[in-house]
Every structure is written in structure tokens, then in C-alpha cells.
Structure 1
Amino acid sequence: MVAEAQLKNAVPTDQEMIDFMVREARLIDQQRFDEWLDLYADDAFYWTPLEWDQTDPRLTCSLMYEDKLLLSIRVERLKGARTFSQKPTSRCHHVLQTPQVDSRNPAANNYVTWTPMHHIETRMDEQTLYAAWATHHLSVENGRLKIKLRRVDLINCDAAFGNIQLFM
């Protein structure tokens, strides 16, 4: 198991943030969900808007808007022996473009990255491709990058979807 590296400085470099984004996708692809969940701050949210250019997850329905507690429940469900909807388990693969650092505010401990990606989810004979942009709001806690908000904007967010089982 590869441990998340401590940051060399209190202020992360662009490369450290890019490496963090790539590592997050790898943890999802390898179904290392407990390690993935540990990348999130205790007050973090994971958000997938339902509408194009949606600005508030509380005033409009979302495909997903979950705090860390709900994410941990989803992780437990994915690992559960009695989760029959995951027999056989869903698998996924991320294809990322190089993440970009959109903003850095060390004084506020706030960093924002943007990553264009394709996410392929497969289970049995069914394979679904999602094209999206992931925006991460990060902070540094105890010398480690933590996700405060992960927003996944699907290009076709207003399409009819089946069950999305895994994290994008």
C-alpha cells in the first residue's frame, strides 16, 4: 500500500497537486476506496450537478451531493459481502488529461484544480463512458492535501442515466 506523501512545504507545488489528482483516480480505479476516502477532509463534499452551469447543490437537484459520512456509507456498500447489486463488482478506468491548477491562495489555504477526463464504468456485459471535468477545491491539513469539494461536471449532465455505481 502506497502512503500519501507529506508535502515538503506548507504550500503545495503545482506538481504535487497534479500528482494528487492522478493518485486519486488511481485509487478509485484500483478500488482502494478506504484510501480514497482518506483523501477527503472531514467537512468535504462530492458533487455531481444535474444541470449545466449549476451554481448551488442545495437549491437544485443534483445527481450526487454527498458529505464525507454519505461517501463512507457508499464505500461500505461497495465493499459489502451482501451488496448483491455488486456481484460481480463494477470496475472503472479513468483517462485524465493533465490536471491544471486554476487558483492558489495560500493565505486562505485554498487551491483549485481542473481535470478533463473520461470515466469508463463496466459491469458484466455493460460498459458506459462518461466525459466530464473534475474541479477539486483542496486545502492542506497536517502537511497533507485534502479534498474539500470535488465537483464532477458531466458533459451530458441532463441525459437520462442508469445507475452510476462508482465514483468518477
Structure 2
Amino acid sequence: MDDTNALFMQPAFAKAVQFIWREAELLDRKDYRAWLELWSSDGFYVVPIDPAATDFATTLNYVYDDRHMRALRVQRLSSGYSPSVTDAARTVRTVSRFTISSDSADTVDVRSAQVVVAYKRGVATLFAADVEHRINLSDGEPRIEQKVVRLIDSTDALSAIGFLL
């Protein structure tokens, strides 16, 4: 058995990976209200500009959302009033290359690779990223405590990233 198979034999890791796949599906279906329910109340969603950033509160980010800001983002994406929403891209996410970076009784940190294909007005755009999820498993239902999406081209000029990564 290789290391990947051994990881999936660990219940916490397997549960976290299934949870991450569920999150990707919810985002592709634009079920943003259900996506909000995946989060712990004090969780942060971060898309940093600097690929080496670790102190997200003191650096410039594309996204640095706490609970309130996530709710506002979902409201904007769901309202139909924003120009970027009325003609929103259709997306398909592939999440793979899962590794565990830390594991405790209550929390698991999982790193993965994500490719998002966004299709809008006859054009497909790729977004590739290294993603870090910190998932709390203590209450029986997994909850995201932190999600960091490190786009591989984060220091370039980016457009059309109004949807959730």
C-alpha cells in the first residue's frame, strides 16, 4: 500500500477530503447558501496576493473574508444586482493531490491542488491554485476554520475572479 492509500485509511483525513469535494460541488452548483453552512463562525477565507504570505491580516489579499464578509459576498453573488452575477461564469472544479499537513484530535489541515475552469461568453479561463483547508471535526459535522487559496499567478494582473475559489 502506498502513502496515499494509507492516508485514506485514516478516518479524519478521508472525512476531510470528502468534505472538500462536497465544498467544490456546492460552489460549482452556485449553492452559496449551503457553502456558508460549511464554515465555523470564526473561519477565514483567504486568497492572498503574495504567494509566501502567512500573516493575512497585515498583507494585501484578493480576499480576506470573515463570517460577515463571506455573507456579504454570498449576498452579492446571489442577489442578481451585480453585473458580474447576472452573467456569471459556469465553473468546474477539480481538487486533487491531497496531503495532510497536520492532524490533531479536533482539527485536520489538508493541502491540495485545485483547477477551476470558468466558462463565460464562449471563453474558458483556467485558475490553478494550491489550497490549504483547516477543518474542525470536533462537533461531528466538519467545519472550515480557514481556507487559503494560493493562485499560481497571484502576482499577475487577474480578472474575472468575482466567483468563489
TM interval, short-chain normalised: 0.7 to 0.9
Residue pairs, 1:1-168, within 5 angstroms: 13-106=12-105, 109-168=106-165
TM superposition score normalised by structure 1: 0.86
Q: Given that residues 23 and 35 in structure 2 are in contact (C-alpha distance below 8 angstroms), is that contact kept between their aligned partners in structure 1?
A: yes
For this pair of structures, how many residues does the alignment match? Answer: 156
Give 1:122's aligned amino acid: Y
Q: Given that residues 134 and 151 in structure 1 are in contact (C-alpha distance below 8 angstroms), is that contact kept between their aligned partners in structure 2?
A: yes
Name the stretch that deviates more: 123-132 or 19-28.
123-132
Q: Given that residues 12 and 108 in structure 2 are in contact (C-alpha distance below 8 angstroms), is that contact kept between their aligned partners in structure 1?
A: no
Please give the secondary structure, in 2, of the residue aligned with 1:127.
strand
Higher helix share: 2
Give 2:111's aligned amino acid: W
What are the ranges of 5 or more consecutive residues in structure 1 without an aligned counterpart? 1-10
Aligned equivalent of 2:3:
none
* Offset of residue 76 of structure 1: 1.1
Please give the secondary structure, in 2, of the residue aligned with 1:41.
strand
TM superposition score normalised by structure 2: 0.87
What are the ranges of 5 or more consecutive residues in structure 2 without an aligned counterpart? 1-9
Give 2:32's aligned amino acid: F
CA distance in 1, matches of 2:89, 2:43: 25
Q: Given that residues 92 and 166 in structure 1 are in contact (C-alpha distance below 8 angstroms), is that contact kept between their aligned partners in structure 2?
A: no
Gap change, CA 1:78 and 1:166, over 3 Å in 2: same
Please give the secondary structure, in 2, of the residue aligned with 1:161.
coil
Q: What's the Cα RMSD here?
A: 1.7
